[in-house]
Structure 1
Amino acid sequence: MLRHAIAPTRRYTKASHDVVRHQCLNSDAKILLLYVQGLSEADVSARSLGEHAARLGIKGRAYQRAKQLLTDSGYLHAWRWQGDRGRWVTEQLLANVTLTGEEAGRARVGDGPSPTVQAPTVGGPGTREPGDSYPEEQREKNLPHPPPEDPEPPADTQLAAAERVLLSLRHDHRDLLLGVREARVLAGSAAEWLRRGVSAADLRKALTAGLPAGGVRSAVGFVRHRLVQKLPDRAEPMPSPGDAARPGLVTCAGPGAEHVFRPVGAETRCGRCRVQEASGAGDGGRTQPLPWRHRLACDRARA
């Protein structure tokens, strides 16, 4: 396919790759999330999420499906309580990153900085002269494409597979949300599991099973602890069924030059010696030339 893209200089919304490429969100959920993120605070507060969805043409079951997917993925949180006059009130929080229930509660009441807002720079506010532009705006205006945000993936196939497992943990539990750089730091420890014979599915199960009842406070610390503490032993190589069933070579106890053969049972003489002995016993001890069928059987027995 071909692509032609020009980075906009105004009237645009920054979208995270985690949202655009999310496998558990359908197109309605992604469009609704990006639409609300691009509204002003006044426009967001003036309408409910359902009204914003209706303006996009997302109604009925499509809206309920999109809302459920956003809730399951940790982007949408809602609180419902009964007011003074007995009427039920619902308050919704829609974030552009996945939040746990505790993080959403802190962002709701304003207790500390929101995960989507950076801490302010130390010092007083600066002045902006007419005609000046901030570096962020200047960079987006001059570059034809936005700069890459993530480093190059590792070339090692096992490291790449381990990184994919770590980044997919968020789909099993929202508390195990890892960034690309965090997953890359832990990929070495996770790849050691794969080198020891653990499949990617079993590795994901070991990292997501039996989570603490109170939630995971630090996804990086929790995953690092499990990768180290639950690392399995190296599996010893098992002999193949053919090697275990095939006996070794033994020295034949028959006459003539020393030679070896592979026994089938507990015999001590090769097939040729046994045939010669049987043929000599039947004609008074005189050795007769072996028929070609017997010679072929002896050659097969020696092989």
Structure 2
Amino acid sequence: MLWHAIAPSRRYTKASHDVVRHPRLSSDAKILLLYVQGLPAERRAVALSEHARTLGITGRAYQKAKKLLVVNGFLHEWRQQGGRGFWTTEQLLANVVLSPVEAVRSREAGAGEAAVVPGARKPTVGQPEGPAVGDYRPEEEEREKNSSHPPSEEPPEDGWGPEEVEAERALLSLRRCHRSLHLGVVEARKLVRLAVEWLRRGVTAEEMRRVLTSDLPPDGVRSAVGFLRYRLVRKLPEPPGERTARTAGPEPDRAEGPDPAPLPPGWVTCQGPGDEHVFRPVEGAEGETHCGPCRRRTAWDLWSERRAAQLAAEQAAEDDYRHTPWRERVAALEAERT
């Protein structure tokens, strides 16, 4: 006799229609998301790449699936350095779309879970030795696994001093505070001159990093280079000499605010709506007063007005037009002949 047995409910995973029918997620991304959703709580500390390797999703296929999950708001990552110098990547994978602010709130809500603390180690047998001399530079870095070294950096340019090197390191380290502030080496070196001015005015690299990463926009940063350049210019502290003179002199008039910092050569303040921001005009268009996004917004508003007027005119013409049946037209022609 054959018996038909149904597996218990714990052997199934409930799949949301928002995930299964998502038009921009690939099949690998959907399978990986549903696989992690059905895992027990004790396997929560395993990296996402390990789960993908279990499913046979490796290499370029895993990178594409992970990118789709990040872009569409299902996967969020935070990279931070612990007290012992080890870098840790914390991942949050959800079966619903989360904004950066919602992801941070969900992360803070689950921050009360007990963290894994390394146990005591036995002392190594033998005499202490110095570090081995070599020219090792890691080429492939797995960002999801813990490591004791920061991301590799290019050698400094010729003619740089200690301030330029420290400024470049501070700018490249912003990626560890927030993933939207990720800068490449070429992009960071474009901002080194502005960051060096902060260091020359008595600001430490840690203070500059805290100012640049505080109060980020809730919707994220569209351009890390433009956002950091704007903050380096607008939040530039005053020189120590002026600060001392103002402290020793009479109390300034509180009705008048401090003079804004001068803009770098070639940059213009945008006259468009919204918060004050700067942009650099393209070559041959030095008279521009609006940045690219503001010009596109103005053009879109103008096109919307013209399109609304066109549709209104077409509707009015359609209302005025009345179709005449052919019998009435023939009767009218015969009436004219007679």
Bin for the TM-score computed over the shorter chain: 0.3 to 0.5
Length-normalised TM-score, structure 2: 0.33
